[in-house]
Amino acid sequence: MIKLAQRMEHIKPSPTLAVDAKAKALKAQGVDVIGFGAGEPDFDTPEHIKQAAVQALKDGFTKYTPAGGTEELKAAVCAKLKKDNNLEYSTSEILISCGAKHSLYNIFQAILNAGNEVIIPAPYWVSYPDMVYLAGGVPVIIPADERSGFKIRPEQLAAAITPRTKAFILNSPSNPTGAAYNREELSALAAVLEKTQLIVISDEIYEKIVYDGNAAPSIVTVAPALRDRALIVNGVSKTYAMTGWRIGYAAGPQSIITAMTNIQSQSTSNPTSIAQKAALAALTGPQDCIAFMTTEFDRRRRFMVERLNKIPGMSCAMPAGAFYTFPSIAGLVGKAAGAYVITDADAFASYLLDTVNVAVVSGSGFGSPAHIRLSYATSFEVIEKGLDRIEQAVRTLV
Ligand code: PLP
């Protein structure tokens, strides 16, 4: 019997990728599945970005680059941080990774010792706790729900800090809730953090996908005193519909960036050379694709929230950013249809997939077992059809 490493004890496959894979597999078998699991824009990567990759191929830019990314892409990230976030970074404080996920993974590997705690507000992105465990750390969860707009309060943050706390991670706008912290809320959290030595990790991957004219400021812009121990994580996956290209980045103190670069140089080596050229075109080229995408997401967001709130037993807050709704199914718990008893969101998600072929992600993987996550990064027609089916399935419950 093969014995795996102890660190694998807590590690599960990503439930969001699993739902997506299950829906795709059913589709391949010819089943008419509606998939609300997607964590990626349904738009194509803009043409000028693809062309940059084609050009890179033609130019023979197909060899190793520096493990931490090319100097020109790092410079483009610095320019982006200056222009969008009013933050000054030098290229020695930037790391290019194989996606924002890879940057996050490397951060935890670089900063955590066994038993170090990382504070994570819930609902959280599914990968944070597992990444912390993989680095020997201990996730400490602070809960938030609709009553606080799915945002934590400064008192909660202060109460969660112990002598073992090493870092705090904030994801605004959030996957899965779409909640985005405004300047005042960030200032209040920063006031707590400024009294500590914690490393602040700010996952800003949905920064540009915001609605109603609101911006999602970086906590580092709002509280520059944190800059010397903050890591900003971002990437091109969501903003430019480039999830498959695998380019993300981190900006932070040189000592941590160097450690992360060394991890990369001993593990993955550089992110793909041609994808780096494409990411360069994304960051430096025309930005109108973002407005085009967010306008369409906005239309779907409003429609989805309105429909969900009309389904008895479900209720849904209006997300401020990202491309997910996170409705509560608390009003359905205890109901049943035949052999299906809705005990929690896992049971509800299985019920939907089995009976009406609709794939949603249970909130349990996000630390919120009374919610489900629906992505609206799918066509309006599919959203309409899927919501009809969900409504029909819910009306069958007694
Ligand atoms: N952070 C959050 C909150 C996400 O939702 C995702 C992707 O789903 C990522 C990071 C990772 O993005 P990337 O494709 O750049 O690895």
> Using CA atoms, how far apart are residues 233 and 107, in angstroms rounded to an integer?
10
Supply the pLDDT for residue 14: 74
* Domain stop point among 284, 306, 324: 284
Supply the pLDDT for residue 11: 86
Q: What is the CATH classification number for the domain harbouring 204?
A: 3.40.640.10
Is the domain of 102 the same as that of 181?
yes
Supply the pLDDT for residue 347: 93
Mean per-residue pLDDT over the chain, rounded: 96
Dihedral angle sign, alpha carbons of residues 261, 224, 222, 286: negative
**Contact 204 CB / ligand 1 (< 6 Å):** no
Residue 234 Cα, ligand 1 centroid: separation in angstroms?
8
Q: Whose Cα sits closest to atom 7 in ligand 1? A: 39
318-327 tens-digit pLDDT: 999 999 999 9
Supply the pLDDT for residue 361: 94
Mutate to test the pocket of ligand 1, among 205, 233, 324 (most ligand atoms within 8 A of CB): 205
**Contact 41 CB / ligand 1 (< 6 Å):** no
Q: Where are the alpha helices (DSSP H) in 144-239?
A: 154-160, 183-193, 219-222
Is the domain of 318 the same as that of 254?
no
Is the domain of 217 the same as that of 86?
yes
Is the domain of 61 the same as that of 22?
no
Q: What is the CATH classification number for the domain harbouring 337?
A: 3.90.1150.10
* Counted domains in the chain: 2
Is the domain of 144 the same as that of 132?
yes
155-186 tens-digit pLDDT: 999 999 999 999 999 999 999 999 999 999 99
Residue 120 structure tokens: 């994570």
**Contact 171 CB / ligand 1 (< 6 Å):** yes
Supply the pLDDT for residue 12: 79
6-58 tens-digit pLDDT: 888 888 777 777 777 788 888 899 999 999 988 899 999 999 999 999 999 99
Is the domain of 88 the same as that of 110?
yes
Range of the domain at 375: 6-44+289-396
Residue 37 Cα, ligand 1 centroid: separation in angstroms?
14
Supply the pLDDT for residue 85: 98
Among 43, 41, 51, residue whose Cα is nearest residue 285: 51
Is the domain of 304 the same as that of 250?
no
List, in order, residues 6 or more apart from 169 with CB less than 8 Å away: 118, 119, 120, 121, 124, 128, 201, 202, 203
Judge contact between 203 and 104, C-beta under 8 A.
Answer: yes
Is the domain of 302 the same as that of 185?
no
Q: What is the DSSP letter of 371?
A: B
Q: What is the pTM assigned to this prediction?
A: 0.96
Residue 223 Cα, ligand 1 centroid: separation in angstroms?
24
Q: Stretch 69-84: mean pLDDT, rounded?
A: 98
Supply the pLDDT for residue 179: 98
Supply the pLDDT for residue 308: 98
Please state the atom number of ligand 1 nearest to the C-alpha of residue 174: 3
Is the domain of 154 the same as that of 190?
yes
Residue 1 within a domain: no
270-309 tens-digit pLDDT: 999 999 999 999 999 999 999 999 999 999 999 999 999 9
